Amino acid sequence: MNAAKNILAAGQAVTACGDLPDGRSAKQESAFPQGEAHQPALELVGIPGFNRGEDVNSALQQGAGLDWYEKGDVWAKFACHRQPGTQVLSGEQQRRKMYRLLATDPMWLADNGPLSPVRQWVHAYASAGKDLAELAHHGRLDRGLRAVLAHHVLFAWNRLGLPYQDQKTLSELAREVVFTDPMTTDQTTTATSDAGSTDDEARRRRNGLVDQLREQGRISDDRVEQAVRETPRHLFVPNTPLTEAYTNDAVYTKHDDTGAISAASQPGIVTMMLEQLHVTEGRQVLEIGAGTGYNAALLAHLAGPDGHVTTIDVDDDLVTDARTHLANAEVDNVEVILGDGALGHPDGAPYDRVIATVGAAGLPEAWRNQTAHSGRLVVPVRIAGSVARSIAFERCGDHWTSVDSQLCGFMPLRAGVADDPRRILEITEDASVQLYAHCEQDIDARALAGVLDTPAQEVWTGVEFVKAEPLDPVWLWLACALPNSLSRMPVHPNAIDSGLVSPMLGWGSMATVDGSSLAYLTMRVDQGRHEIGAIGHGPAGTSLAETMAHEIATWSQYRSRSLGFAFHSRGTAPEPGPGQHVITRPSGSFTVTWQA
């Protein structure tokens, strides 16, 4: 706890530049003049002159472009990973100290103040935050940006040696200061329950979210922008604070013993799919997966008073909730149906637009038959293994072709004729490394027991990526080309810190399995370029890694080509040519083509 108190005490010696969230000047608020001696808290853990761990982490968040409340959400996510400390720093004095620390501009301190001896560290963290935000923008983060940032803070504080209890105490205090402290919270929303004030606050946050999505390129269509600005998302997630309802993250609303099974999707994914669907006024729309009803409300706004939306879900409680939410939002051109989404709703067919907001491993015949001849069908398709894309299809003669595709991930269809079950396997005793197994894959968790304890065999490819270049095209190739496809392999930070695994990304990697052997993707960095490789474990680990490397090299020959998809009814798919794969599903076959 001494380290935690020293970190807070150091905040009194900070002279910052810029304005605090409530408009006060940070420089005016500083208790000491610039340059006055202060307690270098992290000298306690062996980094002389490096005075506060959260200064560099603030640089990380600032580099990522987070606003005040988004930073608070990072600290809230961080706190969930730490057990409560034995003491609580929640007095008025401690809150004010934390307030100063959170409001400090670390870049100014690095260039002009007491962090100048470690200026390169601070700028490196800021650059990393900017890179992560760019990766998020291009869809290369499999979790939300703030969740990834929270784990980077975990890594940093662990490596600096800050005790876990102190980490918990500081992160909880930071969360409290941002979200509940009267110094930083708008009095009109915390001191009153007046509905008008709440609506004003919700509108402000909603507009802020839309502005963010616009800046990140997640919204380009003016009509989609208007729909999101005018549809109150918080009414569809009523048990969620406004701060969470209006962030670019999914809100999980239902769980079973396997984990989350329903959610209000990430707004950036929602807007991407709405733009793929291209709903104009007067359209008849079918949505597969009602969820909270929020997506249906957006569709209803786009279809206008002369259009109509039918949305269907398999769970009666979700259907009831969606109806309630839509009524509360005064949306009256949506019908919510209880049923198996894979069967669609033939009574209202044909539909000008059909969209699935649940993942599917194929294009069920009902969806195709219920789409008007000149209509469009948008589906988050799990192409192979754990690799999925949201694809907009239109009819082309006797088959369907893509007009757009984007990286995505969704809850799978379940409890119906086209359900797509998956298992999440633990391949270490402490569950620090897991593996997704899908219905077409042959993966036995028992056979993989202890596989990561066998020697690691590295194979490098010579194939390089530049910063912010998407990785999902090579994942897609591997998922189609490898005999047992490609699986998502989530990894706990402890498994990375201990050296058990060296995944290509902070959340983990993508892997393939052959009996009792496993190989996964890795990355090494040299002067801003990233070379992709594979690490194999087990009796066939080397050959498995070599197979991955060979396929990566083959993919690299086609990487400059555009990517196209087609869907053919059973028995009508063409033979695959160069740069092309055919994936067979019960409902038909997907053709994946790197087109010249």
What amino acid occupies position 153?
V
- Nearest-5° angle of CA 294, CA 299, CA 302? 130
- Which is nearest to 500 in space by CA: 565, 562, 434, 452? 452
- Nearest-5° angle of CA 248, CA 250, CA 253? 145
What are the b/e assignments for 508-536, b being 16+ CB within 10 Å?
A: bbbbbbbbbbbbbbbbeeeeeebebbbbb
Q: Let me know: does 503 contact 142? Beta carbons within 8 Å.
A: no
350 prior amide bond cis, ω within 30: yes
- Which is nearest to 522 in space by CA: 547, 539, 505? 505
Q: In degrees rounded to 5, what are phi and psi of residue 396? A: -145, 90
Q: Which of 58, 171, 265, 402 is catalytic?
A: 265
The residues, ordered by sequence, that sit 6+ positions from 265 with a Cβ below 8 Å of its Cβ are 250, 291, 295, 357, 410
Q: Let me know: does 103 contact 202? Beta carbons within 8 Å.
A: no
Alpha carbons 231 and 205: distance in angstroms, whole number: 12
Convert 433-451 into a string of H (helix), E (strand) and C (coil): EEEEEECCCCCCCCCCCCH
Most distant pair of Cα atoms in the chain: their distance: 78
Q: Let me know: does 311 contact 337? Beta carbons within 8 Å.
A: yes
The residues, ordered by sequence, that sit 6+ positions from 371 with a Cβ below 8 Å of its Cβ are 350, 351, 353, 354, 377, 395
Per-position DSSP letters for 41-107, written without gaps between them: GGGGGT-TT---HHHHHHHHHHHTT--HHHHHHHHHHHHTTSPPPSS---SHHHHHHHHHHHH--HH
Convert 193-243 into a string of H (helix), E (strand) and C (coil): CCHHHHHHHHHHHHHHHHHHHHHCCCCCCHHHHHHHHHCCHHHHCCCCCHH
Known catalytic membership, residue 487? no
The residues, ordered by sequence, that sit 6+ positions from 541 with a Cβ below 8 Å of its Cβ are 451, 454, 456, 457, 517, 518, 519
- Which is nearest to 291 in space by CA: 272, 314, 259? 314
Alpha carbons 422 and 414: distance in angstroms, whole number: 10
Q: Where are the beta strands (DSSP E) in 385-516?
A: 387-396, 399-407, 422-426, 434-438, 457-465, 487-490, 508-514
Active site residues: 265
